[in-house]
A and B are shown apart, each in its own frame.
Chain A
Amino acid sequence: MSFSSMYVSFMASARLILLFAAYATTVPMVHAQVDTFEFQTAEQQQRFRQLSDELRCPMCQNTNLSGSSGGVAEDLRREIHRMILEGMTNTEIERFMFERYGDFIFYKPRLRMETLFLWFGPLIFLLIGGAAAIVVSRKAGETEKRNPRLDNAQREKLQALLKAKG
């Protein structure tokens, strides 16, 4: 490949990246599936969006229900729509999902006995680390006290010794 063609392809890809960056910063990256659900109020519609954004698709795993075209995700969106129209609260809808799909369905797992470690494990590790850091720094302080810095006379003597040796 000649230098000029390399330059051209480099510029092309740089432009693509710039374009993409511009797109990513201006347009929110939402790839919502288009369903034709009808709601009675704007509040219902807003709740539908929120729930299908916060619930995870069990089949495709790394997308939420609103961003997934998987068969199950479509069915679950339909169920959320039905439950909202039937007047169920978000808590009730979340329980419906939990009873069938477990903690996996939530991007933010609920606080339960089984998820205690998940929620507070990092805090425990932070405490252990913090305690270790305190102990280590205290020890360092004690060592310092026991071996105080050299005064000027001692330092000169040390220099003299080193010079004599070297």
Chain B
Amino acid sequence: MSRLAFYLPVAGFLALALLLWRGLFLDPKELPSMLIDKPMPQFQLRTVDGESVTNANLPEQIFLLNVWGSYCLPCLVEHPTFMRLSEEGAIPVVGVNYKDQSELAKSWLETNGNPFAFSIADANGRFGIDLGVYGAPETYLVDSEGVIRYRHVSVLDETVWAEEFLPAIAELQAGNR
């Protein structure tokens, strides 16, 4: 009994310490997305090129939805990864041109290259709100049914691609079979 009285508080303390220790390494900037396992929000917008676009235009396979803007420096950092993915035909990438002007967006794509199948123009950020976006860049992994499966906030570089997206895609493909 006295042993229990000694070890129980010690165990409690260790459990709490472990919990708080783990909390030290959580990134408070990384908010969990509410849209995981939910279908893509409905939209009826235009691309930066002025063509009308809806959910029906989205790829009928696993694809990436990348929220970007011509004003966004980190987008330029992750840009080579999307260029590589698109050149290799690894996965379709759809852009959401978030709170930007189509003219600026188009010249940004001309200067840096266009990895996107198309870029949805979300000039006033309304579509971004439906997605739960809080700032570019953000990247969503959407499955062939149009359901959002994963979200990454901030730069998606080769490391993030290899360590977060490849496993997530493999899991989706295993589940689909």
Contacts and interface: CB of A to CB of B under 8 A. Distances in A.
Interface residues of A, number: 18
A156 interface: no
A76 B132 CA distance: 11
Contacts of B4: none
Nearest to B71: A71
B59 to A, nearest CB: 24
A61 B28 contact: yes
B173 to A, nearest CB: 28
Contact of A102 (B29, B32, B135): B32
Contacts of A128: 12
A10 interface: no
Interface residues of B, number: 21
A101 B34 contact: yes
A20 interface: no
Interface stretch (B104-112, B122-130, B161-169): B122-130
Nearest to A99: B34
B31 interface: yes
Contacts of A101: 31, 34, 132, 134
B152 interface: no
Given A59-B134, A101-B134, A75 B128 contact: yes
Interface of B: 9, 12, 28-29, 31-35, 99, 124-126, 128-135
Given A76-B129, A100-B34, A104-B32, 5 more contacts: A58-B31, A59-B134, A72-B125, A72-B133, A78-B124
